[in-house]
Structures are given as C-alpha cells and as structure tokens.
Structure 1
Amino acid sequence: MRSNQGAMSAFDYKDVIQEGDLALVWVSRDNIKPIVVDPKAMFNTRYGSFSHSSMIGKPYGSQIAIRTKGQNRFSFIHVMQPSAELWTLSLPHRTQIVYTPDFSYIMQRLNCNPSSRVIEAGTGSGSFSHAFARTVGHLYSYEFHSIRYEQALQEFKDHGLENVTLTQRDVCSDGFLIKEGNNTSFDFAKRSIKEVNIHANAVFLDLPAPWDAIPLLDEVIAKNEKVGVCCFSPCIEQVDKSIEILEKCGWKNIQMVEIQGRQYESRRQMVRTLDDALERLRDVKRRKEEGIERRKKMYDAVLKDEPAGEDSIDRPQPPKTKFNPFGKGIRVKEGDEHYQWKQVTRVEPEIKSHTSFLTFAFKVVDKTRYLNE
C-alpha cells in the first residue's frame, strides 16, 4: 500500500522484515495480529512464544516455527506484509467497520483513482481510510468522536498516511468546510490547516443520519465534473430517507446495492461411475444373504466378553467392509493416485456477510461544460 505523497509508509512494499516495521502475524484465518517488530519483544500465543528477533531478516510471508516444550512437534506463525485488506482483518475495532467486499465495490462504483479527491464522513476504526489512502489522490476524513479522532490520528501518523486530512467535526450539523478557526484538523503533508478547497469528486457517508449531511455537500464537491456519493446504512429505513433527500438535492441515477458474499472451498471429489453403483448394490445384496452384519455383531459381542490377554489368533475374523464410494467403507485419502478424481467447489449454505446497504447517487452541479459538448 503506497501513499500518493511519495513518503515512506508502513504499507509500502518491502521484501524483508526489518526492525521497526509494522507487520501482521497470521496465527490462523480468524486470528491476525498487528505488531511493531522489536528485537527485544516476544509475540505470545497459546501455541508458544515467538521472538521478534527470529523474524528480522526473513522475507515477508515466511513461516516462523518453534518446538513446543515437552513435545516432539512444532508450532508456527506467518509474518505478513501489511495491506489494506489484511489490516481490515487485524485492526482494533472502535466501531463497526467496512470490510473488503464492500469497500472494493464502493471504490469501483465511485471511480476512485490516483487523481480522486474523496470525502469520508465517519472515520471510525479507519478500515476504509487505509483503502482510500492507498488508491486516491487525497482523502478528507471526518470523525465527530474526540477519542476515536485521537486514536485514528495517531494510527495514521504511525502508518505514514500522508495523503489524508483528518478533521474532528460533526458534519451533520457543522458541514464539511475546512477553515482556520472552525475545526480541529490535521493534514499529514501540510501539518497545519488554514483553508482547504476540497472540490471532492467522490463522497462516502458512514453516518447514522446521512440525510442531514447530504444538503451540505454542495459547498465542498467539484462543480464541473461528475461527483458520486455512497451512503453506508444498515437499515432499509435509513436508505428510504436518504433517497428522499438525495432526490430533493438534485442527485440522479440513485441505486441501492447489498453486497452478499459466500466462501468457496476448492477440493477434489472421487469420480463415481455406473459400475461403482452396480457393484455397491451387489455388495449390499451379498452381505444380506450371507448374514455378514449379523455375524459381525456376534464377533463384537464375543470380543467384548473375552478376558484381556487371551489368545485369539485362531478365532475366525469378520469380513472387512470393501471400499464404498457412496457411503461408509475404508477411508481413502483425498487425491489417492489409485482412484480417479475431479476438481469441485463447495459453497457455504448460508450467506453471513451482510453489513449494510449501499446507496449510490451521482450529480453534476455545473452542467455548462457538458451542455457545450
């Protein structure tokens, strides 16, 4: 992840882990922890303790292993290069966050690119802020809560997100204008704020009442180009009220979208033929006629009553169940070269990824250039 100001960012690409780096430790799919690499520090897990010094000098993505005390086995972690997507999975939650499926779709619909000037109202935990900082020219982010503002400010400083201007402001009542004396703002490039001409061409509103902020956008959006807005709302009632205000304020092409994702698992499945099915039916019939199941129960009962240590070498053993590709039988390892396999995909039966409804709208304030064209 690279900021557009050219300064070194914690998310800039690096090959090798170095002291002072922000790194993400992958313990498991649902357990990713951010650390600052310190040669004197340890990373503790329930599987064991990993020294930061063992990470320094290793390529990012390396597996770091330790032997478990008292046991002849190893525990391991992976040290990952930070990215906006991995940061979203590991960041400390201060609020509900915007996850990758949502923010990737939002930026595509708002046509975000290195020349974009974006307003984000509702910094929260900074998940989307990091994704914006990687992609756009400049991000103007607003957070009304003083503690969350200070936490985000320190986080952005530590990560080197220099194309971000962070403002403590309730935009629903005080608007988006940034002027000396009317705000608490920090611009990581200029270090001080006097007056900023935002001219945003993309707006993201993650607010409980976006309809209060929408009428105030005209004073800060670009006047002679197409501007897009996205409202992130968990309730359909909020969507309904937002659309009503968008229409009154002249926003067009309004559309509501809900992102719903499922996990897909790729695996191999044994090819089952008609001959396999016929053989299975013959086996069922044969076992029934020979009374195999009844005799197996008898043998199990005898073995259960037999005193421990008694010799049973001469006792006849029950027939073993043959391999059955349609149900119970001897276990066959997936991919066994003695059998034929095909690649299949298994999908989760339920959708669990709903976070919010996304309401998009677009507007051109000054249509003169478009009319002349």
Structure 2
Amino acid sequence: MSFVEYSDCIQDGDVAIMYLGLNMMTPVKVQHGAQTQTRYGAIRHSTDLIGQRYGSKVTCSKGGWVHMLHPTPELWTVSLPHRTQILYTTDISTITMMLELKPGSVVCESGTGSGSLSHAILRTIAPTGHLHTVEFHEQRAEKVAEEFKEHRVDHLVTVRNQDVCKDGFGVTGVADAVFLDIPKPWEAVGHAKTAMKKHGGRLCSFSPCIEQVQRTCEALESQGFDEVSTLEVLLRVLDVRTITLPLPDFGPDPANHVESNAVDGAPPSAAAAPPSVTMKTTTPPTKMAAHTGYLTFATKPRT
C-alpha cells in the first residue's frame, strides 16, 4: 500500500479507508491480531481484512457491513484526523494546476498542518519529485512525519520543524513551486524567492482574510514577482434525483377518440390515473459552504 502506487490486496501494516456510509469514512491501520469496532460490530484484521482485495465488502460481527477502500489523497482529505484547519479538494485541485506541478517537480510548502495538501502534492510529483515541507509546531511536524512513513511516501518528502518566516525552507535554488499557508505569508516571500530555481517558478499563498492578501501582494511585487493574481474557489454540489410530474389535461384527442363503454352509470375503463412524466433533474443545496480562503498566485521571472 502506498498513497502514490495502487495495490490489489490489503496487507499487514497498510492504512485502509473504511467506508461506513455517505460522508462517513475513517482510516484504519491494519495490524495482525487487531480488531476495529464499528456501529455494525467488530472487524478482525487477521481474518476479515488481511488478504482481501481493496474495495471488498466486509461483514462485521453484528451482521452489518462496510467497504474497505485503497487510500488516496482525496479520501485522506475527508477522513484524516484534524490537527489544524485543512485544505479541501476544491482548492487543492486549483493549487496543483496553477502551480504547474508534474512528476519530477520540487516543491516547498509551509505550513504542513494536517498534511491534506501535502499528500496531493506527493501523488502529483511522484516518482522523481520531492517536497520540502516546513511546520512551526514541533508535535505536528513529528506526527505528520510519522504519517508520511506509514503511508510509504517518506522517500518523497523532507519535514523540517522551524519558523519559515525566520529560517526559510532550508534549501536554496531548488524549488519549481512554493506554497504558503501561514498567518503572515508576506514575511516568507523573500525566503520563497531564495528557495526557487534561477529559471523561475510559481508561488501560491492561501489566506482567509483580504488584508493578508493585500500585504502579500505588496511583498510579491517588491520582490519582483510577476503575474500576481488572487482568486476564490466556491463549490456548489447539485443533488440529482428522479421526479414525477403530472401532465396538464388538454382534453380528448379528436384524432384518437374512444367511445365510452360505461354501463349502468359505471365509469369508463379509460378513466384511469391522470397522465404523468418521470424525469431526472437536479436541485441546488439548501445550504452552501461559503468562503474558505483566497488563493494568490505569482510567477518568479527567470534571472
């Protein structure tokens, strides 16, 4: 099992995603002799999980069942243990595209947080790229380093516990792209420029407040960055459902008139249920998640 390579079967030591229902997923560390309790009963790892194919339907001790899924960055984002606020797939997809990430890219990131974006970056830059990620909080840095090792992507990432605004990323002239998710990104713009390659690269800063964006844009321009732009990504998921609508009564069709065969006042057999039509349609959500943050992008020109 690896977050960047697919495996067919669940093995001892894997991290699998247990799907219990819509928006109900949790990661499970598979270990010989262990068991996991669910609302549907217990799952014994040795007999119920190890050796089973990913995607299998696993029956629990109370008769209920769950699906065991292969981990991906997308599934990890919706099931990971939160240590910080995280980035979700809507912003992550825009970031990986706008930073022009590809296999072999070298990326600098701060802060690491819960590692939601980090896993998506690693999947994108594998197998020859590298991520240099900086986390100010010591315990969070240690925990995310453990998770990278469990997920078998630690060969693609270096975790540093330091203050990026004071000490930078620990590398010089190697990065194709830089991502900042810190309270004062304008204080790290100079270090980001130092970490980037001489032939240039792309930078992205994520900030929830427009005042942060303003100061970051000023810092980017003062450091000689070009193509500075800010955008906000909002997601609206529509619900697809089947509905039945009655058709209006246009009266009898003179071209296809059928005489009534009523006897002794009985209603005609043709007088059945009113006509209707069944169709697929979509309905917007009653509530929609609003602002998460602004994404500011910029380009370091070739020097």
Instruction: Name the TM-score, length of structure 2 as normaliser.
Output: 0.85
Structure 2 match to 1:29: 22
Three-state SS of the structure 2 residue aligned to 1:203 is strand
Max Rg structure: 1
Q: 2:140 aligns with which of 142, 148, 158?
A: 148
1:223 aligned residue: 198
Question: Which residue identity is paired with 1:352?
Answer: A
Tell me whether 1:139 sits opposite 2:131 in the alignment.
yes
Equivalent residues of 1:11, 1:82 under 8 A apart: no
Q: Which secondary structure does the structure 1 equivalent of 2:234 belong to?
A: coil
Of 74, 77, 80, the residue aligned with 1:85 is 74
Identity %: 41
For structure 2, the 5+ residue unaligned runs are 253-271
- The 1-side partners of 2:233 and 2:178 are apart by 19
- 1:12-51 superposed matches below 5 A: 12-51=5-44
Going from structure 1 to structure 2, the CA distance change for 1:51 and 1:177 (only over 3 Å counts) comes to closer
Q: Measured at CA, do residues 51 and 198 of structure 1 come closer, stay the same or move farther in structure 2, by a change above 3 Å?
A: farther
Equivalent pair of 1:177/1:219 in contact (CA under 8 Å): no
Q: C-alpha offsets along residues 131-150 of structure 1, whole Å, 9 cap, x if unaligned? A: 11111111110111111111
Residue 174 (structure 1) aligns with: 167
Cα displacement (A) at 1:214: 0.5
Query: What does residue 262 of structure 2 align with?
Result: none
**Shift in Å, 1:198:** 4.7
* Structure-to-structure mapping, 1:197-236, within 5 angstroms: 197-225=172-200, 227-236=201-210
- 1:185-200 → structure 2 map (5 Å cutoff): 197-200=172-175
C-alpha contact (below 8 Å) 1:121/1:206 kept by paired residues: yes
Matches within 5 A, 1:107-146: 107-136=96-125, 137-146=129-138
1:238 aligned to 2:212? yes
- The count of corresponding residues between Structure 1 and Structure 2 is 279
**Contact kept in structure 2, 1:122 and 1:141, CA below 8 Å:** yes
Q: Report the more deviating stretch, 200-209 or 32-41.
A: 32-41
Separation in 1 of the partners of 2:10 and 2:227? 47
Aligned to 2:48: 54
Which of 281, 285, 289 is matched with 1:348 structurally?
285
User: Which residue in the other structure is 2:150 paired with?
Assistant: 158
Instruction: Please give the per-residue CA displacement for 1:121-140, whole angstroms capped at 9, x wherever unaligned.
Output: 10010111111111111111
Give the C-alpha shift of residue 353 in structure 1: 5.1
Paired residue secondary structure (1:57) = coil
TM-aligned CA distance change 1:10 to 1:133, over 3 Å: closer
Q: Aligned letter for 1:9?
A: S
Deviation at 1:349, TM superposition (A): 3.4
Q: Deviations over 1:161-199 (max 9, x none)?
A: 111111111010122234xxxxxxxxxxxxxxxxxx552
Provide the C-alpha distance between the structure 1 equivalents of 2:273 and 2:18, rounded to a whole number of angstroms.
43
Residue-by-residue CA offset, 1:297-325 (whole Å, 9 max, x unaligned): xxxxxxxxxxxxxxxxxxxxxxxxx9789
Distance (whole Å) between structure 2 residues aligned to residue 358 and residue 34 of structure 1: 29
1:59 is displaced (CA, Å) by: 1.8
Matches of 1:348 and 1:134 in 2, distance apart? 31
Q: Helix, strand or coil for the counterpart of 1:23?
A: strand
TM-score, length-scaled by structure 1 = 0.70
State the shift of 1:236 in Å.
1.1
- Summarize deviations over 1:344-372 as a string: whole Å, max 9, x none: 11221332153211111112141xxxxxx
Question: In the aligned structure 1, how far is the partner of 2:138 from the partner of 2:244?
Answer: 58
Displacement after TM superposition at 1:152 (Å): 1.1
Give yes or no for contact 1:10–1:21 (8 Å, CA) kept in 2: no
**Which is worse superposed, 240-249 or 77-86?**
240-249
In the TM superposition, structure 1's runs of 4+ consecutive aligned residues that sit over 4 Å from their partners are 322-325
Cα distance in 2 for partners of 1:113, 1:78 equals 31
- Cα distance in 1, alignment partners of residues 89 and 3 from structure 2: 19
Unaligned runs of 5+ in 1: 1-7, 69-73, 179-196, 280-321, 326-338, 367-373
